[in-house]
Amino acid sequence: MSQQKVDVGQDQGAVPVGPGARHRTRSVPIEWAGKTVYVGGDAPILVQSMTNTDTADAIATAIQVKELALAGSEVVRITVNTPEAAKEVIAIREQLDKMGVYTPLVGDFHYNGHKLLTQFPDCAQALSKYRINPGNMGGGKKRDDNFAQMIEVAIRHKKPVRIGVNWGSLDHELLARMMDDNSKLSAPREAQAVMRDALVVSAISNAQRAEALGLPGNAIILSCKVSHVQDLIAVYRDLASRCDYPLHLGLTEAGMGSKGIVASTAALSVLLQEGIGDTIRISLTPEPGGDRTREVVVGQEILQTMGLRAFTPMVVACPGCGRTSSTVFQELADRIQTFLRQQMPVWKTQYPGVESMNVAVMGCVVNGPGESRHADIGISLPGTGEVPAAPVFIDGQRSVTLKGDNIAEEFQVIVQDYVARRYGAPVQV
């Protein structure tokens, strides 16, 4: 079984990784309708997401893909698990194209992917990339044959592949062999460390086998998904030190709500700060009736707060204290942040650079004026017992003072005018 014979213990051409130094990886193009996004190389770190609709429901899936794309997901993955789902992929792609949504679609395959990709060539062509899990392809020769079949389809249709190894479906034969070898050492390592190593070995050896089968080296992305923060950090540090394939980051099951956000931020921030990671997905468990696009927003905010990318103007707002018993500043901060994000689909084409704008919405005189001066545009609302006036600062200078019951509406107009004036194209004379 070739994937177990490849020596992946040596450095595979990666440069040393350190704080602030981007791990050098290959550049993988993902294409659709003449548009291309790149993963790895010098490309920005991409944010991606995944639908949770039944893919056999083409309309519902296309709608959710559009929502995710409008929220900023640069690649969207869909489950392709049944013949019914595979049949609808082409309809989903056509519907998205009609709506002008050209975001690349990634097909997520497990167990029967080799059959679906060969039985439904239109599905194979309509997808921009395949995600395959070597641990869910059977064992022994069957696994090797199924893997080869999927790679051959990717070669035929010129599609890139993410080889995604997962903690919960790790190749049992590989793990058993590595555990056995470890037990024979004079100083055996802990089982957890061997499992982490097995993830890395599985990912890289399967990537090397894909190349041996004829898949270009710049058509392969790797991931090693686990559920715990420290394991993820350890696995990806090891993975980055052994290869130069682009790396997809994310906890496989981050969790719900604040737990999922905190866990994802804790793990990814460490790796991104060390230059590891070329694309990210925040795998949040949606709350009942929750918005699937939240994971896209969280991914963007991780990258933006770290200074790695800019997606939408950020609002700085104070947390509130006994000086700010009124909820006015909280409501205004939420209103402005929502307004800015809603405007971005239009603003990003009309006003280049607006995504880097900083807005401050502060609640009292302690830090309000100072923070507002530091922002591109800011407002300092009155705290409890303060004079009922809200000075507005533009580019560090006090511009106007708002009073009355319509401060929120007036400030929103000022922000809109500022964006048009600062980021709009100069008038041609």
Residue 199: strand, helix, or coil: helix
Helix H or strand E segment including 362: strand 358-362
pLDDT tens sequence across 61-84: 999 999 999 999 999 999 999 999
Per-residue model confidence (pLDDT) at position 12: 37
CA distance 358 to 140: 56
The tokens of 406 are what? 């319509």
**Which ranges of the chain have pLDDT less than 50?**
1-19, 427-429
Which helix (H) or strand (E) covers residue 63, if one does? helix 58-71
At residue 191, the pLDDT reads 96
Predicted model pTM: 0.91
The annotation places the binding site at 318, 321, 364, 371
Q: Residue 196 has what pLDDT?
A: 97
Side-chain-facing half-sphere of 17: CA atoms under 13 Å: 24
Q: What is the pLDDT of residue 3?
A: 38
pLDDT for 287: 85
Binding residues for [4Fe-4S] cluster, as ranges, are: 318, 321, 364, 371
So what's the pLDDT on residue 15?
Answer: 39
Task: Please state the CATH superfamily assignment of the domain spanning residues 312-421 in this structure.
Answer: Sulfite Reductase Hemoprotein, domain 1 (3.30.413.10)
Q: For residues 235 and 210, give the distance between their C-alpha atoms in angstroms, rounded to a whole number.
A: 21
Question: Per-domain residue ranges for the chain?
Answer: 26-304, 312-421
- Looking at CATH, the fold of the domain delimited by 26-304 is given as TIM Barrel (3.20.20)
Q: List Cβ neighbours of 239 (8 Å cut-off, separation of 6 or more).
A: 200, 203, 204, 222, 224, 247
